[in-house]
Amino acid sequence: MMTKVTVQGSHGHRRRKVDIPGQVGTITFQNPSGELIRVSERLRAKITALGTYVPPRVLTNKDFEKMVETTDEWILTRTGIRERHVVDKGVATSDLATEAAKCALAQRGIDPKDLDAIIVATVTPDMLFPSTACLVQHKLGAQGVWGFDLSAACSAFVYALQAGAQFIASGAHKKVMVIGSDTMSSILDYTDRATCILFGDGAGAVLLEPSEDGMGIIDFQHEIDGSGACSLYMPGGGSLNPSSHETVDKKMHFVHQDGQAVFKYAVRKMGEVCEKLLARNGVTAADIDCFIPHQANQRIIKATADRVGLKPESIIINIDRYGNTTAGTIPLAMQTAREEGRLKKGDLVLLASVGAGFTVGATLLRWTI
């Protein structure tokens, strides 16, 4: 049987119709180097390098005691945070992202020009346009690469990971740099004790490449729910409320959060998407070697792990050192897991996140470095 398949090549390459004998679900296309690639539905992306970066300056809970009415004890018991890193003036999200990407490239020993695409997950782009991906591309010297920013707040890294994985799975690309980077200190009101103590700055980058042995990114369960938009948002500076003296006076360029509403939603939904994902893949909580959740609140992480029934020794928490770095938390936690010897090649890994939007995400993967 001959199956007619129409495919779209990458980099605007022309459409090619390919006849494939008896292989429904298999496509063949020409990659940018001109090679003909045959791709089955089962082709997976795998992580082949991980780089992270946090700025050197540290703000401790004790520092906050001098800035707002709070205590080290309140912050630690309610959130799990002890300290967070923040940038110096003039350092932006693209700088953190570039440093993280450089680490990943060095680890893999490849040139920035070898990349096919760069995806930057962020809610704090250097500016509304150009995209932070363009700025990172230029800073890396990655000529010929394309890319874009992805906005999904705290779930942006897992969403970007999935977007990158699809480019690999389709056969369009062989090397995609996925970066989660946020400079939360640029949008925090340091007189609002309910939000300013929560966040920090940081970035992490993973390189995605095709997996030859079936290991790598297995499946995902992502959801968005815009009914939660009013629970966590930054109202100023967009098309609805363009920047003006009034928006600045009303502090509309800062994070606004209904902490309890987000907390309740996060506890419910993070567990729910994890359970769906595990069940669909015939995996039990006991099979998970390493649970790497978004780091917003230690209590959310523990409640999710309890609900799903994850092994206590599988849970990665580094919120004490970094606070909530939004798109940076999951790759930073991957790094912590590796440094602590708790993430090894072949481990079954569950990622999970909830963030502004609301955005919810969970990813199941087999660790490959």
Residues with catalytic function: 154, 294, 324
- CA 182 to chain CA mean position, Å: 10
Task: Decide whether 168 or 232 has the Cβ nearer to ligand UT7.
Answer: 232
Handedness of CA 349, 111, 137, 52 (dihedral sign): positive
The rounded distance, in Å, linking the Cα atoms of 317 and 243 is: 37
Q: Is 267 in the site for ligand UT7 (CB under 6 A)?
A: no
Distance (Å, rounded) from C-alpha 148 to C-alpha 191?
A: 33
Contact of 216 with 341, CB cutoff 8 Å: no
For ligand UT7, which is the closer residue by CB, 194 or 283?
A: 194
Q: At its nearest, how many Å lie between ligand UT7 and the CB of residue 101?
A: 23
Q: Tell which one of 3, 28, 70, 107 touches ligand UT7 (CB under 6 A).
A: 70
Interacting span for ligand UT7 (CB under 6 A) from 22-30, 68-76, 301-309, 342-350: 68-76
Shortest distance in whole angstroms from residue 260 CB to ligand UT7: 5
HSE (CB half, 13 Å, CA atoms) of 21? Answer: 0
Q: How far is the CB of 329 from ligand UT7 (least distance, A)?
A: 8
How far, in Å, CA of 110 to CA of 101, rounded? Answer: 11
Pick the binder of ligand UT7 from 9, 259, 303, 369 (CB under 6 A).
259
Q: At what angle do helices 329-339 and 156-169 cross, to 10 degrees?
A: 80
> Does residue 140 interact with ligand UT7 by CB under 6 A?
no
Cα torsion through 70, 74, 79, 85, rounded to 10? 40
In the complex with ligand UT7, the residue whose CB is nearer, 211 or 297, is 297
Q: Are 51 and 106 in contact (CB under 8 A)?
A: yes
Any contact of residue 159 with ligand UT7 (CB under 6 A)? no
| Residue 355 binds to ligand UT7 (criterion: CB under 6 A) | yes
Residues of this chain that bind ligand UT7 (CB under 6 A): 70, 74-75, 78-79, 154, 193-194, 197, 232, 259-260, 262-263, 266, 296-297, 300, 324, 355
